[in-house]
Structure 1
Amino acid sequence: MKHVILSSCRNFLLVLLVPLLECITFLAGAQSWKARNPVVFADVPDMSIIRVKDVYYMSSTTMHMSPGVPIMKSKDLVSWQLVNYAYDTLADIDALNLVDGKNSYGRGSWASSMRFHHGTYYVTTFAQTTGKTYIFTTRNIEKGPWKVSSFKPSYHDHTLFFDDDGRVYLVYGVGTLRLVELTADASGIKPGTTEQVIIEDASAPAGPDVGLKAEGSQLFKVNGKYYLFNITWPKGGMRTVVIHRADKITGPYEGRLALQDLGVAQGGLIDTPDGNWYAYLFRDFGAVGRIPYLVPVQWVDGWPILGQKGKVPVELNLPSSRGLVPGIVASDEFNRRKLDRPLPLVWQWNHNPDNTLWSLAARPGYLRLTTGRIDTSFLQARNTLTQRTIGPACSGITFLDVSNMKDGDFAGLAVLQKRYGLVGVKMSNGTKSIVMVSAETERPVEIARLPLRLNAVFLKIECVFNERNDTASFFYSLDGESWMTIGAQLKMSYTLPHFMGYRYGIFQYASQHVGGSVDFDFFRIQGHREEN
């Protein structure tokens, strides 16, 4: 009986103590549950962010990819989910279609500007490829439809601004910043308007010797004053935030160096519903691309003061990230129900696709890519389907059926940039081989070739970006369990001609005969949590 009573007492005490211990553990670990910079360890550059009530929306640059100008949604500024794109294709021209040897790598549409005004969402961008400025509008940013207006010229790194008096403007330029007025609906340049210089040398606050002159304009109005954010880059220094302030949109403007730490720069201001302010900026981080940071802002004497004692903090007083999978990148089994999108939003085509040569219906549960022309280069092949790599490390895996390849066909898995890497299956003289190709020197070299006696194979690429390691390793498997390395490790490099972080790509192209096809059963991506 005594034993029973003692046992009952012990159990009663455990019932009381366990929740208490769990609560203590929760409180002790709360500090580690804060958000950390970078808030998005993936290529999401040139961000523009707005808040509509308690929801944030962000647009970004994806240049030559289709669809373009991705729209992301968040409730906390940290965890983001793709919800839409501003356009399916920017234009039907040779450079965007990868026709006649032309391409739009490093061009396409660049930095966007996002606004919400009188119930309408505005997303603007500009394109060197077409020489135009684009204004996309919708009443429903998550579902559309979008209306587009376009006009010449292409206003570089412009910011759209609706003033309190109903007038609408673009501020744009490099070094010398200009103002131009638009029509009331922002669909074009206001007739009779003249452009005017509002800041002669916007780089001046960063010193007299700059390499990259001030660009990336983003204009805000807070408590009756205008605040213009720009990036500049002093020679021998780092990417730097400069801010100019004025009482009138036309100036005069006074400028300050606002942040010079880690090269975190280019972006603007956002406030939270409870009155806190942040600067959203990005950092060049090698092969993974340009990655977003948040920097707390305090207002002192009418100026936004960025950072903590001028430094970008590691931790933020915001909820920790729920991760980038499946909000920014995601696995895909290629199974589709009747009302599903043909392709989830995480996917973008490298340039404009030929929609007659890919299918999810030809073999349900598979993505089929069919060749329709002869290509001699992976970079000129159409219908390469891509999504971002993510840091600090990640892996991408696919399984493909190569039963219907033709001689000269090459299909598989890539990490796409100018200095790309491929692992896939080539067919030559009726024989299939597993091949690894490296373009680390910018000239593709076949590093390894192994015979493939089956009609299906698993492929994997592992990427490591931690501490700018920037390496990709290539693998194959015949059963999906035992993995063998193939070829050599690729030293990835962010190149300006492509101007984009590395992306996973599923590809198929022909070098001899058209009409061959391959079926991809799935693509699976996984992020690996290593401390950066």
Structure 2
Amino acid sequence: MRYLTCIILAFFLCFPPLKAQAVNPVIYADVPDMSMIRVGDTYYMSSTTMHLSPGLPIMKSQDLINWEIVGYAYDRLAENDAINLIDGQSAYGRGSWASCLKYHEGTYYASTFSSTTGKTHVYSTEDIEKGPWRARSFTPAYHDHTMFFDDDGRVYMIYGVGDLKIVEMKEDLSGVKPGSEERVLIENASAPAGDNIMLRAEGSQLFKVNGQYYLFNICWPREGMRTVIIHRSDKLTGPWEGKVGLQDLGVAQGGLIQTPDERWYAYLFRDNGGVGRVPYLVPVRWEDGWPVLGVDNKVPEMLDLPPQKGLMPGIVASDNFNRKKESSDLPLVWQWNHNPVPDYWSVRARKGFLRLTTERLDTSFVSTRNTLTQRTIGPVCTGTTKIDVSHMRNGDFAGLSLLQKNYGLVGVKVISGKKYLVMVSTENGKAVERVRIPLAQNTVQLRINCDFRDQADTATFYYKVKGKSWRPIGTSMPMPYTLPHFMGYRFGLFNYATKESGGYVDFDYFKISDG
């Protein structure tokens, strides 16, 4: 026995167990346009969710790898027809775009801009996890801007496309400083990537390291890929020197973050098909005053950081809709498609259920209000719900969805007073009913499986009635990423009316799994 123990000990001394590592992408879900800070030992990150409410999500991590949503900078971006889905208008692909997150003298700032409002929006708080957030806005909407607090106490925004501009701001970021005028900071900032550019430099993020200024941008050469551009200068006013920072896998747009033990990483993202734009981390070393991104100029698959624990429940989560009196109505993983109508949804009307009540007539799923959504996640995931359709009215359609321009639906439709199980997908921009099955009961379970492996981007749909096993319904559906929505596919719970309003559906639960 002693001999065997010695052999085992010798084996482990010669071949120590491999250290668990994180893998790229860091978050296999739609978390684009990241802006990141570290305060003490805690990292915070903001992202883009455009036409969803609440918006401008704030996420938290202790290790750069495992993240959880801790809040939103705003509940409702604005009140207008587009963001409220009124009179045929919508904010799909717009809403609020690339945010910027900063911490300065005890205050957190999160900013964004919006073509839906035509404004730049700035939110601030002393408690990033609990709020409340103060809201300020002004015109114009500064495209892909970065806030920057310089050492002399002055505050700036850098923004624009191609020719990058700078303007000095009021100290509280409530608007442009009186007497300050915008000026070009860097002409043709795409130049380091060549002359044949499809997407000119944008996505500005500015950092100051050891007294030097570093401006990160993205551009896209024709017949090339999304590319990181870095400019540096001894002075904010210039002159600026630029170079290509990274050109691999299309991983680009973001900035720099330093760990407490003084390691550097670049946080970036990649267009990854139907699941959306997914975050990557890339190691950074410093050489001749420049940040050098990647390992041999490549994005590594493995990272010398703690391994992922999974995206549940920090980024997505199941929900049984059973609320205690003191608890919030919805966990932070949920977002509404556009601004919700509070009087027509409830998790209190029936204990343990989400109730969606129709409040008007709609012509399509994408014009419907009060669709409750969560991200899909890769490489594979499943969303499941159970609905009680006892109180649907003629012309109603309710169930489980995949939200994007080319959407997919599985649910119950009432036609001439009779209930049917229906699967719908879109083809050439038009919704097509693929199958219709008579339904003789008032409860049904619905499921959608998503496969994003190797960008397969395929969804399959299922249903289950009492006493039966799961059965497929309709056809498999491709999930292409489209610019009109500019967002990865999201699961959604929906109910809308086409004939008469006032019907309602009770959702018993929503379950999400990574299998």
Q: How far, CA to CA, are the matches of 1:301 and 1:127 in structure 2? A: 38
Q: How far, CA to CA, are the matches of 1:437 and 1:514 in structure 2? A: 22
Equivalent residue for 2:292? Answer: 305
Deviations 1:22-52 (A, max 9, x none): 978994232xx20000000000000000000
Instruction: Quickly say closer, same or farther: Cα 1:155–1:26, change in 2 above 3 A.
Output: farther
Residue type of the alignment partner of 1:165:
D
Q: Which of 131, 138, 155 lines up with 1:151 in the alignment?
A: 138
Residue type of the alignment partner of 2:18:
G
CA apart distance, 1:430:
1.4
Equivalent residue for 1:433? Answer: 420
Q: How does 1:39-438 map to 2 (within 5 A)?
A: 39-438=26-425
Deviations 1:439-487 (A, max 9, x none): 1422000000101100000000000000000000000001487110000
CA apart distance, 1:338:
2.0
The answer to whether the Cα contact below 8 Å between 1:46 and 1:60 also exists between their aligned partners in 2 is yes
User: Any idea what SS the aligned residue of 1:97 has?
Assistant: coil
User: Any idea what SS the aligned residue of 2:514 has?
Assistant: strand
* Runs of 4+ deviating beyond 3 Å: 16-27
Equivalent residue for 1:29? Answer: 18
Instruction: Quickly say closer, same or farther: Cα 1:404–1:22, change in 2 above 3 A.
Output: farther
The answer to whether the Cα contact below 8 Å between 1:178 and 1:196 also exists between their aligned partners in 2 is yes
The answer to whether the Cα contact below 8 Å between 1:440 and 1:490 also exists between their aligned partners in 2 is no
Q: How far, CA to CA, are the matches of 2:14 and 2:513 in structure 1? A: 29
Instruction: Quickly say closer, same or farther: Cα 1:435–1:217, change in 2 above 3 A.
Output: same
Instruction: Quickly say closer, same or farther: Cα 1:185–1:25, change in 2 above 3 A.
Output: farther
Q: How far, CA to CA, are the matches of 2:435 and 2:49 in structure 1? A: 32
Residue type of the alignment partner of 2:227:
T
Q: How far, CA to CA, are the matches of 1:279 and 1:131 in structure 2? A: 31
Equivalent residue for 1:456? Answer: 443
Instruction: Quickly say closer, same or farther: Cα 1:65–1:301, change in 2 above 3 A.
Output: same
CA apart distance, 1:209:
0.5
Residue type of the alignment partner of 1:522:
Y
Residue type of the alignment partner of 2:96:
S
The answer to whether the Cα contact below 8 Å between 1:62 and 1:69 also exists between their aligned partners in 2 is yes
The answer to whether the Cα contact below 8 Å between 1:358 and 1:383 also exists between their aligned partners in 2 is yes
Deviations 1:98-153 (A, max 9, x none): 01111000000000000000000000000000000011000000000000110000
Q: How far, CA to CA, are the matches of 2:37 and 2:190 in structure 1? A: 26
Deviations 1:416-446 (A, max 9, x none): 0000000000011111000000114220000
Q: How far, CA to CA, are the matches of 1:27 and 1:496 in structure 2? A: 48
User: Any idea what SS the aligned residue of 1:327 has?
Assistant: coil
Q: How does 1:497-516 map to 2 (within 5 A)?
A: 497-516=484-503
Q: How far, CA to CA, are the matches of 1:185 and 1:166 in structure 2? A: 11
Q: How far, CA to CA, are the matches of 2:150 and 2:93 in structure 1? A: 33
Instruction: Quickly say closer, same or farther: Cα 1:419–1:302, change in 2 above 3 A.
Output: same
User: Any idea what SS the aligned residue of 1:446 has?
Assistant: strand
Instruction: Quickly say closer, same or farther: Cα 1:510–1:28, change in 2 above 3 A.
Output: same
Equivalent residue for 1:7? Answer: none
Residue type of the alignment partner of 1:172:
Y
Q: How far, CA to CA, are the matches of 2:335 and 2:467 in structure 1? A: 26
Pairing 1:520–2:507 present: yes
The answer to whether the Cα contact below 8 Å between 1:395 and 1:460 also exists between their aligned partners in 2 is yes
Moved more, 433-442 or 116-125: 433-442
User: Any idea what SS the aligned residue of 2:394 has?
Assistant: coil
Residue type of the alignment partner of 2:288:
D
Deviations 1:474-507 (A, max 9, x none): 0000148711000000011110000000000000
With normalisation by structure 1, the TM-score equals 0.95
Instruction: Quickly say closer, same or farther: Cα 1:166–1:459, change in 2 above 3 A.
Output: same
The answer to whether the Cα contact below 8 Å between 1:241 and 1:258 also exists between their aligned partners in 2 is yes
CA apart distance, 1:381:
0.3
User: Any idea what SS the aligned residue of 1:444 has?
Assistant: strand
Instruction: Quickly say closer, same or farther: Cα 1:23–1:389, change in 2 above 3 A.
Output: farther
Residue ranges of structure 2 left out of the alignment (5+ in a row)? none
The answer to whether the Cα contact below 8 Å between 1:440 and 1:491 also exists between their aligned partners in 2 is no
With normalisation by structure 2, the TM-score equals 0.98
- The root-mean-square deviation of aligned C-alpha atoms, in Å, is 1.7
Equivalent residue for 1:3? Answer: none
Q: How far, CA to CA, are the matches of 2:71 and 2:17 in structure 1? A: 39
Q: How far, CA to CA, are the matches of 1:234 and 1:481 in structure 2? A: 54
User: Any idea what SS the aligned residue of 2:17 has?
Assistant: helix
Residue ranges of structure 1 left out of the alignment (5+ in a row)? 1-9
Moved more, 216-225 or 435-444: 435-444
Moved more, 269-278 or 471-480: 471-480
Q: How far, CA to CA, are the matches of 2:15 and 2:469 in structure 1? A: 40
Identical residues among aligned pairs (%)? 63
User: Any idea what SS the aligned residue of 1:379 has?
Assistant: helix
CA apart distance, 1:19:
10
Give the number of aligned pairs.
515
